[in-house]
Structure 1
């Protein structure tokens, strides 16, 4: 894996998705964006479509997705519930049967700081939806990932600063903490990209992870307004705090990771502000960067093996 150092992309925290994609022609290419009909996902879908890509948008609420995407050309919606591995299997099998090739797969959908919720065989929901659902999806779509040029982008967060993988109690059976659970799932998103890139690079499948920045989106649905004010995210009148990005700025790092030629030899890295991030040397997530535990190859391999065991799929190793 490439060392975590900035590469001088020419873009920054205020760059927009359209600016990042200027001059990049995605005509004839197919992208898949989970959760691509709301918040950052919607802006990601819009930007990729504008650049010429056909965009598949898996959605737990297909009718809502179709309405949100109504005016965006080249998009289609298919039903998928990442919390249900049977739904993941059915979605993937149906898509593989079409024989289409996926050039860009963006694992964008997620939940944050939700009340304690159990899915499947009692799995903690944030780990299950944010990580395991996407893990199973990518593995099941292995047959249609474009050989020699496919990119998988895992949308993580600075929330990974909260914790590494809690190997002794991944599913929080001994006391639930919604923020630690979120942080663990975001660490898992980064480790997933590290291991996937290591396994897929030889066949042209590269993987990246990223922090999109602080943005007000429906992701905050489980955070009461009073708590958002206390956290400094919004003012009492609901205005976003200084430093927060617009959704289009938030989507910029995602589409940069998905398309930038500059990343051709930098697989597996964690990105932020449209560049490769530096290694985090402080505990304050506002300083940016990536924690060592989130890019540790041994941790990534261990998580991959556990994820294979839990989901029953492994198309790479």
Structure 2
């Protein structure tokens, strides 16, 4: 069991895990200032990682995140990696540019409840960005690491929203949009994040690869930009005046509390024997996961389907 409580902040877990963070080489996607990925990067920078790779779609956003980090920790070695998770060509270029020796990959970027559209490769946007993009990028990095016998821990940021639906294997694209439901599509993509961690643990756990998925808690960040004020109210998350609904069942987290679970998942050595698990509030908590999201057969089926979508097999 993790040594951390639900209320621990990024500052607190970073202090405890400082020895593990020091000298590590970590890559984080989705590091917009004010996001959980950005906050996790900011907290990690305080503890002397050897390299902090900030990955994202827009150079200006990455530069803003870099500026925040370097203002607080001028000695931190950062590198920017620009690529678009909704473009397989962009992902492949970035994977070639990524530095060697990455030992932590934190897949934090994502979109939520977007109107129906597709990626550059014709994949429904939420599934394509949240899962397929990370599946391809991570495997391109891991294939090199495994060949060199390196150890890597992969963190896939999921959501309580995974309970909105399983992977729709018979129609993951929602009939080309004909039967699209943005919340079911989001749920499918978050379930896929969890199954990806299950598959990585089962395929590569014996070769130095660890992987955890997690729910960082509920926060108001840029991922909710597609929602109207009325939708926030309808979901039961906000009052009509725009203030949040203060209900413990909603598991509201501060930004630094949300980032804490990412840091624990990436660095805590005490959870290593629980490879492939799902975390909530700094604790492994598979009991909080929908059964279909941790199912080994679903994980293997998704892996095969994902390989077909990206047109490449990853055999380890």
TM-score normalised by the chain length of structure 2: 0.90
More helix by share: 2
- Contact 2:87–2:121 (CA under 8 A) maintained in structure 1: no
Work out whether 1:230 is the aligned partner of 2:234.
Answer: yes
What is the Cα deviation at residue 313 of structure 1? 2.9
Determine the structure 2 residue equivalent to 1:4.
none
Report the equivalent of 2:73: none
Q: CA deviation at 1:119?
A: 1.5
Q: Deviations over 1:5-62 (max 9, x none)?
A: xx2x232322111211213222221100001224111111111111222210111111
> Which residue, out of 90, 97, 100, partners 1:94?
97
Q: Residues 82 and 129 of structure 1 are in contact (CA less than 8 Å); yes or no, is this contact kept in structure 2?
A: yes
Task: Note if 1:132 corresponds to 2:99.
Answer: no
My pick for the range that moved more, 128-137 or 145-154, is 145-154
Structure 1 residue 212 and structure 2 residue 204: aligned? no
CA distance in 2, matches of 1:186, 1:118: 17
2:24 maps to which of 25, 29, 42: 29
C-alpha distance in 2 between matches for 1:120 and 1:29: 33
Inter-CA distance 66–144: structure 2 relative to 1 (3 Å threshold): farther
Which structure 2 segments of 5+ residues have no match?
71-75
Give the distance between the partners of 2:269 and 2:134, measured in 1 at CA: 25
Asked if structure 1 preserves the Cα contact closer than 8 Å seen for 2:155 and 2:213, the reply is yes
Counterpart in the other structure of 1:301: 300
Q: Which residue of 1 aligns with 2:114?
A: 114
Corresponding residue SS for 2:289: coil
Contact 2:31 2:65 survives alignment (8 Å) = no
Give the Cα separation in 1 of the matches to 2:204 and 2:196.
12
Alpha-carbon contact 2:101-2:145 (below 8 Å) kept: yes
Query: SS state of the match for residue 222, structure 1?
Result: coil
Instruction: State how 1:222-301 maps to structure 2 within 5 Å.
Output: 222-242=226-246, 243=248, 244-279=252-287, 289-301=288-300
Give the count of matched residue pairs.
298
Could you tell me which residue of structure 2 aligns to residue 50 of structure 1?
Answer: 46
Deviations 1:78-97 (A, max 9, x none): 211000000000000112xx
Paired position in structure 2 for 1:282: none
Q: Take 1:258 and 1:227, find their aligned partners in 2: how far apart are those partners?
A: 33
The answer on 1:71 being equivalent to 2:51 is no
Query: Structure 2: how far apart are the matches of 1:191 and 1:278?
Result: 12
Q: Secondary structure at the match of 1:128?
A: helix
Q: CA deviation at 1:235?
A: 2.9
Q: Deviations over 1:123-182 (max 9, x none)?
A: 110000000000000111121468453100000001111111111210111411000000
Conserved 8 A contact 1:59-1:80: yes
Distance 1:45 1:309 in 2: 33
Q: What SS does the aligned partner of 1:115 have? A: coil
- Whether the 8 Å CA contact 1:139–1:313 is kept in 2: the answer is no
Separation in 1 of the partners of 2:174 and 2:152?
35
Distance in 2, Cα, partners of 1:57 & 1:71: 12
Q: Which residue of 1 aligns with 2:10?
A: 17
Counterpart-to-counterpart distance in 2, 1:228 and 1:206: 36
**Hey, what does 1:160 align to over in structure 2?**
162
Structure 1 contact 37–45 (Cα < 8 Å) conserved: no
Whether the 8 Å CA contact 2:88–2:121 is kept in 1: the answer is no
- Trace 1:177-196 onto structure 2 (pairs within 5 A): 177-196=181-200
The Cα RMSD (Å) is 1.6
